[in-house]
Amino acid sequence: MKKSLIFLSAFAALFLAGAGTSAIAGSAQPAETKVAAEEPEPTLYEQLGGEAAVKAAVDGFYVKVLADDRVNGFFKGVDMDRQRAMQTAFLTFAFGGPNHYEGKDLRAAHAHLVVKGLNDTHFDVILEHLGATLKELGVKDELIQHAADVANSVRGDILGKEKK
């Protein structure tokens, strides 16, 4: 919707500039103002509610993950305070917020888990918990889908799949 507005406004400005008469040029002003005033689309990070929301989501998410026998074996012996901090920083960045992520490359971070059998089924469980957590926090389905898309974009790295 917004993109088409920008496109239309830019088109109108171009058309009017081409027409070149001062009478028409006078009416070109609103079109140019519209391009300048167009707000950038808020990031997913902003739409979710920023730092506090992502932190709350990560905390709730790991409560579910650690209670789930389908995946909690992978987290045995993991420093969960560090893990929550890493996941918060990573998701903040992945959702379009500020980049403070200083953890490992995702492929390297999960390589030893792939050796232990980490596969798509486990990844889907993680997505299920991420979605359920966001839903509980009142996030709209559309944004949950967007978050799942972002997570799915790193599925190949997490699972050590060959790069296409």
Query: Does 114 help bind ligand HEM (rule: CB under 6 A)?
Result: no
**Shortest Cβ 84–ligand HEM spacing (Å):** 10
With CB under 6 A as the contact rule, the residue among 66, 137, 151, 160 that binds ligand HEM is: 151
What Cα–Cα distance (Å) separates residue 149 from each residue in 11, 67, 82, 130, 163? 32, 24, 25, 12, 18
**Contact flag: residue 104 with ligand HEM (CB under 6 A):** yes
User: Does the protein bind ligand HEM through residue 110 (CB under 6 A)?
Assistant: yes
- Does the protein bind ligand HEM through residue 143 (CB under 6 A)? no
Residues 95 and 121 sit within 8 Å (Cβ to Cβ): no
* By CB under 6 A, residue 129 contacts ligand HEM: no
Q: Are 134 and 57 in contact (CB under 8 A)?
A: yes
Window 35-74: contact mask with ligand HEM (x via CB under 6 A): ------------------------------------x--x
DSSP string, 53-107: HHHHHHHHHHHHHHT-TTTGGGGTT--HHHHHHHHHHHHHHHTTS-----S--HH
Provide the residue type at 9 as one letter.
S
Annotated binding site for heme: 110
Instruction: Please choose, out of 13-21, 25-33, 54-62, 84-92, the segment that lies near ligand HEM by the rule CB under 6 A.
Output: 84-92
